[in-house]
Amino acid sequence: MKNSRSADSEVPTGERPYVVLLGSVGMDDTGIVGGKNASLGEMIRHLKELKIAVPDGFATTADAYRQFISENHLGRVIADHLRQWKRGRESLEQCGSTIRRAIGGGHVPENIRDEILDAYAQLRRKAGRQLSVAVRSSATAEDLPAASFAGQLETSLNVRGEEALLAAVRNCFASLFTDRAITYCDTQKIHHTKVAVSAGIQRMVRSDRAGSGVMFTIDTETGFPNVVLINAAWGLGEYVVQGVTDPDEYLVSKPPLGDKHFVPIIEKRRGRKEKKLVYGKGPKTTRAMVTSRRQRDSLVLADDEILILAHRAVAIERHYRRPMDIEWAKDGPTGKLFIVQARPETVQSRKTASALKSYAMKRKATPIVTGLAIGSAIAAGKVCRLKSAKEEARFPNGAVLVAEKTDPDWGPIMKRAAAIVTAHGGRTSHAAIVSREFGVPAVVGAGAAMRVLKDGMDVTVCCAQGDEGIVYEGRLPFTESDLITGTIPETRTKVMLNMADPAAALRWWRLPSDGIGLARMEFIIANHVKVHPMALAHFDSVTDPKVRRQILALTKGYKSKPDYFVERLAEGVGRLAASHYPKPVIVRMSDFKTNEYAKLIGGRQFEPDEPNPMIGWRGASRYYSDGYRDGFALECRAIRTVRERMGLTNVLIMIPFCRTLEEADLVLKEMARHGLRRGVRGLEVYVMCEIPSNVILARDFARRFDGFSIGSNDLTQLTLGVDRDSAALKHLFDEENPAVKDLIRSAISAAHRGGAHVGLCGQAPSDHPAFARFLAEAGIDAVSVTPDSFISVKTNIAAAEAATAPSFVPLF
C-alpha cells in the first residue's frame, strides 16, 4: 500500500487484505481502492485541520473483488458474454444483464464477508445511533490514470443492515457491467480484466432532511478558474448529480475569499427544485417527493453556508493542485456541512489554453440575405423564425434565430442560437451587443430576412468576410481554427473590453485584455433587474395592477423591493468585476434614454414623453433630479455592495452625458451622500467625453474626475448634428470625419495636460482598423472594444505603435 496507512489504523494491512478504513488510505492507493475512495481517504487524513468534514467509513479492496469473481467462477462467464457481444451474437443489453445477474447471485466469500461485517460493526458503534450508509463504486484502474469511470458505476443509498450491505456490495461489483460501463471500457480500449471495483461504505449524512449538491472550483462552461460554482437542491444529492432537478446555483469569486470581511457571492439563482430524493422505508431505500411551495421559493443555502463551502472547495483544490469536482451534503439534525466526494474536474481543465477561433469559407456561393456582420464567426443550422420571444418553447438548441429585432426578453433564446439574423438594427442594437458577448455570429439590419428565410431552411451564416454579414442557403463547408493567445502582440496602449451582459463575461477570460473599459449598467438593469428603480423605491405609488403583480412575482423572497434592485444589480456588476479581477472594470452608471426607461416594468409611470430622448433627460442630469434621485441612490448602493461587501475593489465608476461643470459637481455631491466619495477606499470616478463641451472644458473636467472615456458614437452625433439611429442619415455618420478626429485629438491632449487618463469606448476601433491606428498615433492611453474584435484591434495598434515613436507616456 506504498506506506500510506496511518500509524494508528484500526485495521492493519497484514490482518485484513480485503477491507481498509477510509482514513488509512490516500491518493497513492488508487490501485487498491479506486480513485473515489482514495480521494475520500486523502481528505480525511490531510484536511481535518482545515475543518473539512468527511463522513468516515471503509472500503473493500481490489483483491476482494478479484477473490469474489474467482470463487464464484465468474471470470469465464464474463469473458464469454463480452466475446459474444463483440462478435454481434448478443445485444449489449443481453450481455450486461446476464453478467450482472451472475454477479448478483454470487456468494461473498466468508473471509471477505467477515471483514466487511466487522468493519460495519465498528462503524455502527462509532455512530452511536441507527446507522445508514451509502455504498459507492470506485473503479481501480491502477495502470490507466486517464480512465476516471466518472458516472459509470452504481451507488446505493440509505443501506441498513448486514444482508442489505452485502447485497449493495455485490451491486457495486455488478455495476462494472452496466450497458454504459461496458461501452465506456470499449471506447477507452480498457480490458475488463485490468479493472476491479472497490465498494466504499460511508456513513450517510441526513441531507434528506436538508440539502446537498455539487460544486466545481472552475466555471464549467468557460473554464474560468477564479470562481467556485455551487449547485444545491433539497434532499439527497443524487438528483443534482443525475440532473433530475433544477437546482439553485451560486457563484463565488475566489480572490476576495482571503479576507473574512468580504462576501464575494456574485450570483444566486433560485432553481425550481420541484422534486427531492429522501429516505424510503422497507426494501425501497429512497423515494421521490414533490417539494413544498416554500422550498421551491427558498434558497437551499444561506450566505454563510455558501462561503463555508467555497472556502472548503478552494482548500481542496489547493491540496490537489488542480480544478476539482466536489459533492457536498448538509446534515439536517446538526446543520453541519460535509464533503462526500472529490475528484478532478475532467472537462474544462483538459481544454487547450485558447478558446478563441478564426473562420473562413471554403468556397464561394450566392448570398440570399445580407446585412451588417457582428462578430467574425461562421455557423450553420436550421432557420427558426420567431415573431415574439414568447415563442421560446419552439426554438431548438443550435438553430439559427431569425427575428425582426431583439430586446432583453430574447436573451434566453439568443444564448441557445447557433447564429442570429435580424431584419432591423445596427451595430449598437441589442442583437449586436448581446451576440458579440456570447460569441454568436449575427447579421443585423438584414431587411429581407423575415421574408426570405423560411422555417426549417438550412443556412450558413458568415460574419468572417469583413463588415458585410452574409446568409447562404444550405450548409456550406467552412474552416475553424484556434487562435493562440500567446501570439497576440504586446502594446503600450491598453486594450480593454466593452461588456454589457454578465452572463457572457466569463467567456472571454482567456483574452489578454487590460480590463473592462465600458460595462453598461443599463444592460444589466434591463436583463437582470427588469424593473424601473423608481417603481421599486416607490412601490406603494404604482397604480397599474398588472405591473404590481409582475413586481411582486420578481421580488418574492427579497427583504424589500429596493433590496431586489440592489442585489440583482450588484450580482451583475460583481460578475463582470470578478471576470477581470484585479484589473480595472469601469462601470458606467445607467444611461437609458427616457423611452428606454419607460420599457422597464413600471417605467411608463415615471418617465416623460420626449420628442428627442437622445439629447433629453439622460445620464448625469437624472442623478440629482427629484424624478430619479431615489433610483440613483439604489444604483450607488449596488456599487457599494460590489466594492465593500463583495470585495471587488477593481470597480471604477463612470458618469455618462455630463453636460456642464456645475452638473459634474452636483453628481459628485449626490454620490458622496450615498457613500461613494472619489478617492475614499481607492474609488476612482471617470466621466464620459461625448459632448463637445467635455472637450472644450477638458482641463476643468479633469480637476473633477480621474479619467475620461471618449464615446465616439455620441461625440460624432453631436459634432455632425446627425441622429445616429437615422437610416436616412447613416451615410453622414462617420467617426473618421476630420471634425470628430480633431475633437478627439484635443480631448487626449487636454486630458494629459490635466493629469487624467483618457480612453475611448466607442465602436469605431472595432469596425475600422485605420481608426484604431489613429487613436494610437494620437497618444490615447486605452481603447475599449468588443471582445470579438479584440485581436484585430490589438494587432492594428501594435503596428501603429511600431511605426510611430510616441512622445507621450501612458498614464494607465
211 and 245 Cβ atoms separated by less than 8 Å = no
Q: Give dist(CA 419, CA 413) in Å, integer.
A: 11
Cell representation of residue 674:
450615498
Cell representation of residue 310:
467555497
278 and 208 Cβ atoms separated by less than 8 Å = yes
Give buried/exposed letters for 63-74 (b at 16+ CB in 10 A, else e).
ebbebbbeebeb
| CA 249, chain centre distance (Å) | 10
- Among 394, 348, 353, 400, CA closest to 377: 400
CB atoms within 10 A of CB 753: 11
DSSP letter for each residue of 672-715: HHTT--TTGGG--EEEEE-SHHHHHTHHHHHHH-SEEEE-HHHH
DSSP 8-state symbol, 15 = T
Q: Give dist(CA 655, CA 661) in Å, integer.
A: 12
Q: Give dist(CA 358, CA 191) in Å, integer.
A: 40
Written as one letter, the residue type at 302 is: A
- Among 766, 765, 748, 767, CA closest to 757: 748
**What DSSP element (H or E) covers 239?**
helix 238-241
For 275, phi then psi, to 5°, come to -130, 155
How crowded is the C-beta side of 32, counted as CA atoms within 13 Å?
Answer: 24
Task: Give, in order, the Cα–Cα distances in Å from 582 to each of 160, 399, 585, 665.
Answer: 51, 37, 9, 29
Contacts of 10 (CB under 8 A, 6+ apart): 21, 122
Q: Give dist(CA 671, CA 666) in Å, integer.
A: 9
Q: Give dist(CA 553, CA 330) in Å, integer.
A: 29
Catalytic-labelled residue, pool 424, 430, 528, 757: 430
Catalytic-labelled residue, pool 462, 463, 636, 761: 761
Q: Give dist(CA 456, CA 382) in Å, integer.
A: 5
- Among 730, 788, 734, CA closest to 442: 788
734 and 684 Cβ atoms separated by less than 8 Å = no
CB atoms within 10 A of CB 404: 14
Q: Look-up: residue for cell 491540496?
A: 319
Cell representation of residue 618:
439622460
- Among 498, 401, 394, 411, CA closest to 446: 401
How crowded is the C-beta side of 214, counted as CA atoms within 13 Å?
Answer: 21
Cell representation of residue 536:
421599486
CB atoms within 10 A of CB 549: 10
Please give the torsion angle defined by the CA atoms of residues 382, 388, 389 and 391, in that order, rounded to the nearest 10 degrees: -60
Give buried/exposed letters for 449-476 (b at 16+ CB in 10 A, else e).
bbebbeeebebbbbbbeeeebbbbbeeb
CA angle 575/428/609 to nearest 5° reads 95
Contacts of 751 (CB under 8 A, 6+ apart): 689, 698, 702, 707, 708, 757, 758
Written as one letter, the residue type at 119 is: A
Reply yes or no on whether 463 is catalytic. Answer: no
DSSP 8-state symbol, 292 = P
DSSP 8-state symbol, 763 = S
Q: Which active-site residues does the annotation give?
A: 430, 761
